Structure 1
Amino acid sequence: MPGWVLIIVRSLVFLVLLFVTTKVLGKKQISELSFFEYVAGITIGSIAGEVVTGLEGNMVHGALALVVFGFVTFLVNFLAIKSKKFSDFAEGKSTVVIKDGKILEENLKKEKYTLDELSALLRQKNIFKFADIEFAVLEPRGNLSVLLKKENQPLTPKDLQMKMPNEKEPQTVIMDGNIVDESLRCAGKGRGWLYTELDKLEVTLDNVFLGQVDSYGELTVDLYDDKIQVPAPAQRPLLLATLKKVQADLEIFSLETNCEKSKEMYKRNAEKVQKTIDMLSPFLNG
């Protein structure tokens, strides 16, 4: 068999074999690697490359070596799941490098990281002052996990005691100018509604590259023609503004009337509308 044909055959065989091996080992093998996974991945790739291009070598022996390394990697992953001690040995342990704003130099040296490398990892997280950090942990896979001190953490709706609606996955209802009916059904909408919303935005279906329906049932679109400015959905802000106007009108009516009974009625209903506004504001603020 000619050498070039042999290379093609071996390449196809080992491409399939590597794919199957990676599928068996799982997603960990293609994510951030631990020490053992890093070594095993390099070795498996080297074996495949050597067998594919080494015309004089035995392809069966190469395939056997690849299967052995794949099995050992699978076994190590399995044992790491079953045993915490073995997991710490094979995959490493987390190391605290900053605590209460102070760098732990010994731990940093132990992990063979320089101060510049630590600073670079922090800058990637938009952190520039060590004093702002409660603690930072260097994970076994090389990434840095950081917890800022309480006073340096950004405010959340929970801190402000605000109730926020649950977000749902946006449904892509238009893709490359074509309607995705299954996503449209998942969003609880129909084609009639979609065409109505497109008319409101003054765009045509064939000019829409991507269209999505969010958890509030609003349609947002991205057009092929980037020069066209598409107005942002305004239904929720408009409804909130209308409720506020109603509440203000009721308060004005309560001040203008001389009838005590009517004044009390307007005032009571103004309070009810205000409670409704307070409850719906997290949902209606665009």
Structure 2
Amino acid sequence: MPDWINVIIRSFSMLIILFFMTKWLGKKQISQLNIFEYISGIVLGGIAAVHAIDPNANFMYALISMFIWFIVPFIAEFLSLKSKRFRNFTEGKSTVLIQDGKIMEDNLKKEGYSTDDLLAALRENNVFLASDVEFAVLESSGELNVLPKKENRPLTAKDLGINVAPEKEPQTVIMDGEIMLESLANLSLNVNWLETELDKQNVSIENVFLAQADNNGQLYLDLYDDKITVPEPTEKALLLANLKKCQADLELFSLATENEESKYVYEKNSKKLQHAIDLVQPYL
């Protein structure tokens, strides 16, 4: 067999083996690596590269060495899930760099972090003053997580005392012109609902590049034809406007009539409708 064919076969074989080994080691292996995973990843790639381009290298030796470098991190990962002490040894511990607004200089030196390193990491978290930070911790992955002081955090609905409706993640119901039945089922919707919503906007499924729906049944479209503008869903806004109009009409009827019984009925129902609006407004 010619050497170039041998190299092609070895390369494809190593690529497939590395793919499955990485897949079995889990997503963590390709995201934030600890020291053990970093070393094993480099070595596995090096073994695969050397034995892929060297036709004289023993392929069985490559498989044995790759198996060892695969099984050791696999066992280490399993043990780290079972033992906190072992996990601390292999992955390390997080280190507090700022606590109660005070920079921990000894911890900075321990981690080899200079003041410039700390300030750069804070800027990556959109913090430009160290005095704005209440707490900052350096994770074992090397990422710095920052908790700003309360007065420097963005306001939330809870801070303002506003009730908001619970919300589930939106689902992609059409992708590349194909209906995603599982996504529709996750929202308790069906194809008939989807076709009805598309008819409302005079759009056919074949013209839809991407369609997403939220848990309120609002459909958002992106078409293949970029020159066509699809209006944003307005059903919820129209419903809220109609409710408010009905409530205002009841108040006007109450003021316009001189019949005490009718006035009482209008006022009573106006208050009931206002209470209903207050309840459903977070959802609209």
**Which residue of structure 1 aligns with residue 240 of structure 2?**
240
For residues 198-213 of structure 1, the aligned pairs below 5 Å read 198-213=198-213
Q: Alpha-carbon deviation of 1:190?
A: 4.4
Alpha-carbon distance in structure 1 between the residues aligned to 2:179 and 2:95: 50
Alpha-carbon distance in structure 2 between the residues aligned to 1:80 and 1:146: 26
Alpha-carbon distance in structure 1 between the residues aligned to 2:82 and 2:177: 50
* 1:226 partner SS: coil
**Which residue of structure 2 aligns with residue 4 of structure 1?**
4
Q: Alpha-carbon deviation of 1:102?
A: 2.6
Q: Alpha-carbon deviation of 1:25?
A: 1.8
For residues 255-270 of structure 1, the aligned pairs below 5 Å read 255-270=255-270
Q: Alpha-carbon deviation of 1:24?
A: 2.6
For residues 28-47 of structure 1, the aligned pairs below 5 Å read 28-47=28-47
Q: Which runs of 5+ in 2 are unaligned?
A: none
- Percent sequence identity over aligned pairs: 53
Give the letter aligned to residue 91 of structure 2. E
Q: Alpha-carbon deviation of 1:259?
A: 2.2
Give the letter aligned to residue 20 of structure 1. F
Q: Alpha-carbon deviation of 1:192?
A: 4.3
Alpha-carbon distance in structure 1 between the residues aligned to 2:244 and 2:14: 68
> In structure 2, do the counterparts of structure 1 residues 89 and 183 end up closer, same or farther at CA, with 3 Å as the change threshold?
closer
Alpha-carbon distance in structure 1 between the residues aligned to 2:57 and 2:190: 62
Measured against aligned partners, the alpha-carbon deviations of 1:102-153 in whole angstroms (never above 9, x if no partner) come to 3222212221223333223222222222222110111000111111212222
Q: Alpha-carbon deviation of 1:253?
A: 1.9
Deviates further, 61-70 or 154-163: 154-163
Q: Alpha-carbon deviation of 1:244?
A: 0.8
Deviates further, 53-62 or 114-123: 114-123
Alpha-carbon distance in structure 1 between the residues aligned to 2:196 and 2:20: 48
Deviates further, 46-55 or 156-165: 156-165
Alpha-carbon distance in structure 2 between the residues aligned to 1:25 and 1:193: 42
> In structure 2, do the counterparts of structure 1 residues 36 and 189 end up closer, same or farther at CA, with 3 Å as the change threshold?
closer
Alpha-carbon distance in structure 2 between the residues aligned to 1:59 and 1:37: 24
**Which residue of structure 2 aligns with residue 70 of structure 1?**
70
Count of residue pairs brought into register by the alignment:
284
For residues 125-274 of structure 1, the aligned pairs below 5 Å read 125-274=125-274
Deviates further, 85-94 or 258-267: 258-267
Give the letter aligned to residue 257 of structure 1. T
Measured against aligned partners, the alpha-carbon deviations of 1:84-112 in whole angstroms (never above 9, x if no partner) come to 12211111110111122232222122212
Whether contact under 8 Å (1:100, 1:131) holds in the other structure is no
**Which residue of structure 1 aligns with residue 119 of structure 2?**
119
**Which residue of structure 1 aligns with residue 83 of structure 2?**
83
**Which residue of structure 2 aligns with residue 23 of structure 1?**
23
Alpha-carbon distance in structure 1 between the residues aligned to 2:256 and 2:77: 77
* 2:161 partner SS: coil
* 2:226 partner SS: coil
> In structure 2, do the counterparts of structure 1 residues 116 and 161 end up closer, same or farther at CA, with 3 Å as the change threshold?
same
Alpha-carbon distance in structure 2 between the residues aligned to 1:67 and 1:145: 36
Alpha-carbon distance in structure 1 between the residues aligned to 2:194 and 2:52: 54
TM-score, L = length of structure 1: 0.91
**Which residue of structure 1 aligns with residue 60 of structure 2?**
60
TM-score, L = length of structure 2: 0.91
Measured against aligned partners, the alpha-carbon deviations of 1:45-82 in whole angstroms (never above 9, x if no partner) come to 11111111222222211211111111111121122222
* 1:237 partner SS: helix
Alpha-carbon distance in structure 1 between the residues aligned to 2:56 and 2:122: 50
Whether contact under 8 Å (1:244, 1:277) holds in the other structure is yes
Deviates further, 70-79 or 183-192: 183-192
Q: Alpha-carbon deviation of 1:231?
A: 1.1
Q: Alpha-carbon deviation of 1:182?
A: 4.6
